[in-house]
Structure 1
Amino acid sequence: MAYQVKIENFEGPLDLLLHLIKKNEMDIYDIPMAEITAQYLAFIDAMKSLNLDVAGEFLLMAATLIHIKSRLLLPASEEEDLEEEEEDPRAELVRRLLEYQKYKDAAERLDAFPQLQRDVFVRDFVEPEAEPAAETEFEAVGIYELVEAFRRFLQEHPEAPVHEVDTERLSVTERIHGILDLFSQRENLLFTELFSQKPDRHEIVVTFLAMLELVKLRLIRLMQNEKHGPIWLYPSEDGGDRATWPVDEETLGYH
């Protein structure tokens, strides 16, 4: 069975590009096109591996990055040398990124203002005793960090090239209930603890979709205390009574 999910957190290709630029501490005015293109394409491949539909705008940006990269690699012709210096092929992309960053910052500042019937105040987050860096502050994990974590996990657990007899497999809702059941015994869960010792591609994809649904339903929070560090799952403070949530195949849209 093929599972499909619409990811509203992906705001578009410019948002992904800004994430990659910030993560790698690149100069937005002097973007290394070879590196950023390779990372962007790797991210798109990870989305496809997780059975996520890649929107056309993401593929269009991929084509744009490849086009800019190829223009930078081509040697300048004699006619171009005689003419005035040609504009940097990255200039238009940089302008779009700066414009997007301006409006994104403005939206974040507006979102930070108190809003009626929206703000919920919860107790301070307590770091688990199992973590060695007790003084490191935890931060929420975004969708890009989550996809990157699953991309690394897929690389570490490649699918074995063997013939497999199809049997009744784990569904997304069954995986959701399984994760929620673990919280009845634990206060927090490490990302890698959700998988068996030798997970197959189906288990990885279903777990990824289950985590996305749990975050969307505000039943869990994903936290990280260092760059590229381990991801921890915590029950959400404002998720209410989890037993009252209608988590089944029909309401989630998986048939």
Structure 2
Amino acid sequence: MSFTVAVDQFEGPLDLMLHLIKEKELDLFDLDIHVLTEQYLLYLNKMEEMHLEVCSEYLVELATLIEYKSKKLLPKQEAELNDAYEEDPKDRLVRRLLEYQQFKEISEQLKQLYLDRQRQITKPISIESEEWIKANENQPVQGSPYELAKAMTKCLRRMQLLRPIETKYTAKEISVEDRILQITARLADLPETFSFERLLEDCHEIHETIVTFLAILDMAHTHQLYFTVDDADTIWFRRGA
């Protein structure tokens, strides 16, 4: 059987698992862990054969898969006793896969919304903004819109690890313009430099997070906010003109 290993194809072990589930047409809600483990191990073995470094996070997930398989070999009574005290590893894995799949879908939505919004923004840079840039030329340079979108995706991934992103929507969804007004009102209470996560403190739903992203795109374009992205892909903002 031919097996192609693309090193940069996957963003992590959960991304690889979702790919294998789709490729082998497995049912995510009735997951065959045995087949998934075999395919996952095959992929890692191929990486080693090609002398490619296998990241520790992939090995950790492999251990999780093997743990589930080993528990299925326990006597029924002992397995039931263990299940009474802890979450089923299979259920835990399926839940994490569903959350990660949801995160990927949100990321794709953000990328498309970013492109759509960029085509709509046409306001030119003001003279005041140019003067502000000259006065602060020794400060960290303004990041590119691409860096902003990329860093925000990673920010959402960090948030996803801390708490699942809810998929519900409010009955009355806030507009980008209203969100800009909200952020503008908050600027006086924020420090001179603040992170993107600070702007998301009042976001509890997907729609609010996406609208916040679109709002800061507009504000960055009109230089109401200036941003830079550090080596850890954290987005930092400063008030602009």
TM range (shorter): 0.3 to 0.5
Which structure is larger by alpha-carbon Rg, 1 or 2?
2
| TM-score in terms of structure 2 length | 0.43
| TM-score in terms of structure 1 length | 0.41
Q: Name the one with the larger helix percent.
A: 2
